[in-house]
Amino acid sequence: MSDPQAQSDDLTLVARARRGEVQAFNDLVLRYQSAMYNLAFRLLDDADLAADATQDAFIAAFQRLPQFRGSNFRAWLARIVTNACYDALRRRRRAPLSLEELSAERAEGNAQPALVSDSDESPEQLAMRRALSEAIQDCLNQLPLSFRTVAILSDVQGYSYDEIALALNLSLGTVKSRLSRARQKLRDCLRAVRELFPSAYHLLEQEDETP
């Protein structure tokens, strides 16, 4: 996933952004905002909190750009987003929602944001993917935060062990064992999903056959 061409393009943009070119930084934002918002949402399961955390993270990244060392901008950014999400969770724990707010959230259907979708996708397919998205989220929510983070980075977003170790400041061994334990828990939860969404698996198997 950390394709060398993308990485060197990133570094060119980083160098320009460091010289104060907001436009160059905004090119990086365009490149990563979807991935970073998805990371934040999967961690927080809250559309508004995720949007705020993502925005905070991009502002923080711009301000801390001179501190960026190394060559993996994506992992560095993921670290900032993850920390922004942890901050949001801490704040939420300190000021829990009132019952009214909670029921209001429920009434909104605990809305997940719209899915990215092709124009040729049928309404049924879209509904199925939407249900799948929510089912996966439910399973992720059951994981302890540190396992959830590793599972999202690795299995949802495709980060390598090295990148995760970099982003979360963990040793490779810790990444490996946390990911294994997260997958073990996810497997048990997703077995039910598999029964609910045989077509999702079926879809995947078809995709696998066509390279």
Which residues of the shown chain bind other proteins in the complex (CB under 8 A)? 18-23, 25-26, 29-30, 33-34, 36-38, 41-42, 47, 51, 54-55, 58-59, 62-64, 66-67, 112-116, 129-130, 132-133, 136, 151, 154-156, 158, 160-161, 172, 176-177, 179-181, 183-184, 186-187, 190, 193-194, 200-201, 203-204, 207-208
Nearer to other proteins, 98 or 119 (CB): 119
Nearer to other proteins, 144 or 158 (CB): 158
CA distance 9 to 110: 38
CA dist list (Å): 208 to 159, 190, 201: 20, 19, 10
Write down the least CB distance from residue 166 to other proteins, Å: 15
Task: Report the length, in residues, of the chain.
Answer: 211
Nearer to other proteins, 3 or 208 (CB): 208
Nearer to other proteins, 93 or 155 (CB): 155
Write down the least CB distance from residue 146 to other proteins, Å: 16
Write down the least CB distance from residue 99 to other proteins, Å: 26
Write down the least CB distance from residue 47 to other proteins, Å: 6
DSSP 131-193: HHHHHHHHHHHTS-HHHHHHHIIIIIT---HHHHHHHHT--HHHHHHHHHHHHHHHHHHHHHH
Backbone angles phi, psi at 45, to 5 degrees: 50, 45
Write down the least CB distance from residue 29 to other proteins, Å: 5
Output the CA angle 128-134-138, nearest 5 degrees: 140
> How many Cα atoms sit within 13 Å of 50 on the Cβ side?
18
Nearer to other proteins, 166 or 186 (CB): 186
